[in-house]
Structure 1
């Protein structure tokens, strides 16, 4: 079982990352799916998505949970039956799950140059400190995207805009954490952000 990395940001929070190397059949043998999940995974047209879905269930198992313990609310936000908070992500051949006593969000993205094409759709304030000519420009964009996606999952409020409502404070090149804010209507909230880069991917997670 290729559990790639386990991170413990604090005593109430754990992140587990999975590198998806197994076939669909091997992953299916590792998990016990409830009927609704089985129908969902068999209905996926992409085997990459199927393997991502199943790898998340393997991560649940690594946490000591089963598929039956995972549920989704009316907005599609996952939650665990024991009341702990959970956030889920997968991209290509990596997936990750974060579980905490606090509200949290996580995202993994593959670092790809085409993110620069859509940068103006999710960045506003951050352009003030980004350098488009820097060698790490794509990496920085990917970090910011992952942070804002993790905030979106944590906040779970329809109408939240990456560009208008989420602000990421500049991060140093040699650090793996920063601060981000959600400024939504009358609510201003500060979040601690952690991020890491590995094998051409970026992962970021937000903790309330």
Structure 2
């Protein structure tokens, strides 16, 4: 069973990570979907996306929930029936969910060299100065995850990664950072936590999760 890891961040927050190794058929046989999500699954054109979707339901089971406990708001944000907060992400080989008693955002990304080609579009590139290329890739991937995680918490139309979400300087060895969202004449602060996950396929993934401070 490829439950990769459970991170107990604190007494009220857990992160569940699944390594997606099963076939679509095996995953489908192991979960029960509500009617809306069954239709949603069948409209997905990519089997990788379908497997990611189903593996998230496996993680829900690990956390003591089912697909029937999960619903989505009009803005697409996921919610649990018991009013716990949930955030969801998947990327290629891994999926993850965060469940907490306070708003949480999570992102998992495969670290790829192409992130450097677009780094100037979403981050302060001075934060990459003095790093090797591999370190730049890793750090830019963390920053992307920071912006995704913060956005998932707020989920407001019009928020721009480069214009409204700002990461403070941090080191990869810190495994934590802070960020601010400056939007609609408000400045909000966030605590960020991150770690790298080895897929054993010479590919590294970055997990980032955020809480509003």
Which band: TM-score by shorter chain?
over 0.9
Unaligned runs of 5+ in 1: none
Following superposition, the deviation at residue 43 of structure 1 comes to 1.9
Following superposition, the deviation at residue 173 of structure 1 comes to 3.0
Instruction: Name the SS for the 2:32 alignment partner.
Output: coil
| In the alignment, structure 1 residue 182 sits paired with structure 2 residue 181 | yes
Following superposition, the deviation at residue 12 of structure 1 comes to 1.3
Residue correspondences, number: 206
Q: Which residue is 1:145 aligned to?
A: 144
Once residues 119 and 15 of structure 1 are traced to their aligned partners in structure 2, the CA distance between those partners, rounded to angstroms, is 27
Once residues 24 and 172 of structure 2 are traced to their aligned partners in structure 1, the CA distance between those partners, rounded to angstroms, is 38
Following superposition, the deviation at residue 128 of structure 1 comes to 2.8
Following superposition, the deviation at residue 177 of structure 1 comes to 0.7
Following superposition, the deviation at residue 86 of structure 1 comes to 0.5
Once residues 128 and 22 of structure 1 are traced to their aligned partners in structure 2, the CA distance between those partners, rounded to angstroms, is 41
Following superposition, the deviation at residue 47 of structure 1 comes to 0.7
Q: Which residue is 1:111 aligned to?
A: 111
Matches within 5 A, 1:48-197: 48-123=48-123, 126-131=124-129, 134-135=132-133, 136-197=135-196
Q: Does the CA contact (< 8 Å) of 2:24 and 2:47 recur in 1?
A: yes
| In the alignment, structure 1 residue 206 sits paired with structure 2 residue 204 | no
Unaligned runs of 5+ in 2: 199-203
Matches within 5 A, 1:23-38: 23-38=23-38
Once residues 29 and 175 of structure 1 are traced to their aligned partners in structure 2, the CA distance between those partners, rounded to angstroms, is 41
Q: Which residue is 1:8 aligned to?
A: 8
Q: Does the CA contact (< 8 Å) of 2:85 and 2:104 recur in 1?
A: yes
CA-to-aligned-CA distance 1:7-36 (integer Å, 9 cap, x gap): 111211110010000011110111111111
User: TM-score if structure 1 supplies the norm length?
Assistant: 0.95
Once residues 63 and 87 of structure 1 are traced to their aligned partners in structure 2, the CA distance between those partners, rounded to angstroms, is 13
Following superposition, the deviation at residue 134 of structure 1 comes to 2.2
Following superposition, the deviation at residue 133 of structure 1 comes to 5.4
